[in-house]
Structure 1
């Protein structure tokens, strides 16, 4: 089994409480997702704020404008430090996305996205990952990094 990993880290000029409030509101996902994805939240369970056990359903077009239904479950959440969402149904065979928020001594926030994912089995899946999926995910997460830095301000990391 070929499991792939995507990792992003950025430091934001905001408080951990403001970051948590923004990143745990499902409707804010659309604000940090490129328009080509046609990201549309269909539903989410429970209160508007994120919580363990929450199910969120989306319609997305991540590859070549092909629409997919995507269902994720928030499997873990520890306010205001991290949450994990896992795909239950969607374009990947496996999707496990960890979101970490850590307050720095100077009052900024380090945000880390760590995604483990798997595409189709065997040679075809490995080929698709190298030719398409990795570049598309990089494009999506690079966009997110830019938009989030514009929204919150980018802070220099010290250390």
Structure 2
């Protein structure tokens, strides 16, 4: 099992950050423009049972990724898990913590790459580098948008 973690202190109240993540266009906003990803659908917002579907492109090969929300505690947490996709397993926990009127945004992912420990050893570093790049972008966008919101 591999782990990914990213934390950013956003200069906005927790309600503003949660509201930002509830936006219907949130996936479009948080997807880096250079990544070969198509957003197919998003249904149910952040609630338990919500579904997001993507098409990832690995060169010319399309890969379907479907994630569903298994937990939601407004405005502190939501969790999505891969139902269909390229990973053997994937659980992404999104935490929102109040820190004196600001919000600590935390993304924590536990995942397994198909093929076992040898494959994880061979390409785990590459997957981690893609996650680092993507979540750096997501946290920067979150900071930018949330600091400009007026609630």
Find the partner of 2:145 among 125, 145, 151. 151
Say whether the 8 Å CA contact 1:45–1:54 is kept in structure 2. Answer: yes
1:39 corresponding residue in structure 2: 37
Find the partner of 2:20 among 18, 22, 38. 22
Separation in structure 1 between the aligned mates of residue 46 and residue 7 of structure 2, nearest angstrom: 21
TM-score (norm 2): 0.86
Judged with a 3 Å threshold, the aligned counterparts in structure 2 of structure 1 residues 126 and 64 are, in CA distance, closer, same or farther, namely farther
TM-score (norm 1): 0.82
Find the partner of 1:120 among 114, 117, 128. 114
CA-based RMSD of the aligned residues comes to: 1.8
Give ranges in structure 1 of 5+ residues lacking alignment: 154-159
Judged with a 3 Å threshold, the aligned counterparts in structure 2 of structure 1 residues 65 and 116 are, in CA distance, closer, same or farther, namely farther
1:72 corresponding residue in structure 2: 67
Q: Which has the higher strand share?
A: 2
Shift of 1:30: 1.8
Say whether the 8 Å CA contact 1:27–1:41 is kept in structure 2. Answer: no
Separation in structure 2 between the aligned mates of residue 24 and residue 67 of structure 1, nearest angstrom: 28
Find the partner of 2:56 among 54, 60, 63. 60
Secondary structure of 1:14's partner? Answer: coil
Say whether the 8 Å CA contact 1:26–1:50 is kept in structure 2. Answer: no
Separation in structure 2 between the aligned mates of residue 44 and residue 143 of structure 1, nearest angstrom: 20
Separation in structure 1 between the aligned mates of residue 67 and residue 87 of structure 2, nearest angstrom: 11
Separation in structure 2 between the aligned mates of residue 64 and residue 31 of structure 1, nearest angstrom: 23
Say whether the 8 Å CA contact 1:74–1:84 is kept in structure 2. Answer: yes
Give ranges in structure 2 of 5+ residues lacking alignment: none
Shift of 1:64: 4.7
